[in-house]
Amino acid sequence: MPVEAINRPDAEDLSALDVKPSRELEGANHLLDDHAALERFYEDNGYILLRGVFDSDAVAAARDEMLAVAVKLGLVEPGDESGRWTGTPLPGSMEESPLYAGIARKLIEHPVNLAVMEKVLGEPACAVPIVQYRTYPPGGPVTVVHQDGFYSPGIQDYKPVWVVLTPCTRDMGGLALAIGQNKRGYFHNVGKPSPYPFPRDAVPDDAWATTDYMPGDVLIVHPYTPHCGLANQSDRLRISFDSRVQSAANPSAVAATVKAVTPNSVTVDAEGLGERTFVVDENSFIRVVHPGVREKFDGFADYTKPGMRLVVVRDGDRAVMLRKAAEG
């Protein structure tokens, strides 16, 4: 029976440290020129893994840009393309640091790579202005088990994209996915506070899979697929980012600057749309202050300020989601 929602305040939580993948992810390069077959694989399994499809020079350029930030932070030595960790601690949350701005978008929108994304979507693609960058050292952050669609409602036909920029063997903490679990609804436990962790028994232990990832590989994760980053037990940084792609002709998510706010609306200057006013209500998924925390609707006009850069996910003139922008 499909899981529509979970509300179990007394349930034991599922940690990424509990995930022990026993299965191997399958490559789907052979389906890339058959969109219907590729989409069936995606819906059946909850992911698409494409090996070595991104332009190698563009991947190397993105790697060098991310490593340059790591050098600036003292995490790696200059000139070390392997990303071997110096032992310097990661300085707090860096996933959406402006130091990385533009790296992901430039890589995804390279003509060779954008052609791959067009085959994945079945139509011309563009980047969603949401990116998280990972330069995770050994013993560093471990992402919670989650489903991207739970935190990003309303983006129609978008596909989350995960890319590694240096070799990411299993000991480095690559992504693990629960195969075929994308067909059972959301597992996030709304009986617990944000980030609404999964109950420990929600996902079968034998559903989890991973692989060794290489630069140029692209992993497309279904918005309903449970997944997490595993612990980095190597001596190198895990250099990767995750973004999303959507229809270029009919994008649901747009980057915008807040112009004015009322208790029930937000007026923005939106890229490609101009100045627009959107209705905001108690069902809007609001996280404009911190991208990982849903804010309460009460007080919306107090904490949403003119000048903020947001991602607006729209359905007509209603804001389905408002999120602090990370424009990649």
Confidence of residue 134 (pLDDT cuts 50, 70, 90): very high
Does 223 reside within a domain? Answer: yes
Does a structural domain hold residue 6?
no
- Write down which residue in 247, 273, 298 finishes a domain: 247
Specify whether 57 is located in the same domain as 194: yes
233 in the same domain as 88: yes
Average of pLDDT values for 221-225?
96
- pLDDT score at 151: 85
Asked if 107 and 239 sit in the same domain, the reply is yes
**Mean pLDDT computed over 273-279:** 95
Q: Return the number of other C-beta atoms located less than 10 Å from residue 324's C-beta.
A: 17
The domain that holds 282 is classified in CATH as 2.40.50
User: Which pLDDT score is estimated for 142?
Assistant: 82
- Final residue of a structural domain among 219, 247, 275: 247
Per-residue DSSP letters for 214-237?
-TT-EEEE-TT--EEEPP--SSB-
What's at 305, amino acid-wise? K
Provide the residue range defining the domain that includes 196.
16-247
Looking at the domain assignment, is residue 221 inside a domain? Answer: yes
Q: 279 in a domain, yes or no?
A: yes
Same-domain status, 203 and 58: yes
Tell me: pLDDT of 301 over 80. Answer: yes
Cis check: omega of the bond before 195, within 30 degrees of 0: yes
Question: What is the chain's percent helix, strand, coil content, to nearest 5?
Answer: 20, 30, 50
Distance CA 311, CA 323 (A): 5
Q: Are residues 65 and 137 in the same domain?
A: yes
Asked whether residue 161 is assigned to any structural domain, the reply reads: yes
315 and 215 housed in the same domain: no
Domain boundary among 214, 232, 247: 247
| 272 and 144 housed in the same domain | no
Q: Are residues 88 and 181 in the same domain?
A: yes
pLDDT average, residue stretch 74-102 = 93
Q: Which residue has the higher pLDDT, 264 or 3?
A: 264
Nearest to 236 by CA among 166, 175, 176: 166
Same domain, 207 and 296: no
Do 225 and 257 sit in the same domain of this protein? no
Would you say residue 93 has pLDDT above 90? no
Quote the number of domains for the chain: 2
- Calculate the average pLDDT of the chain: 93
Mean per-residue pLDDT for 142-159?
84
Query: 1 pLDDT exceeds 90?
Result: no
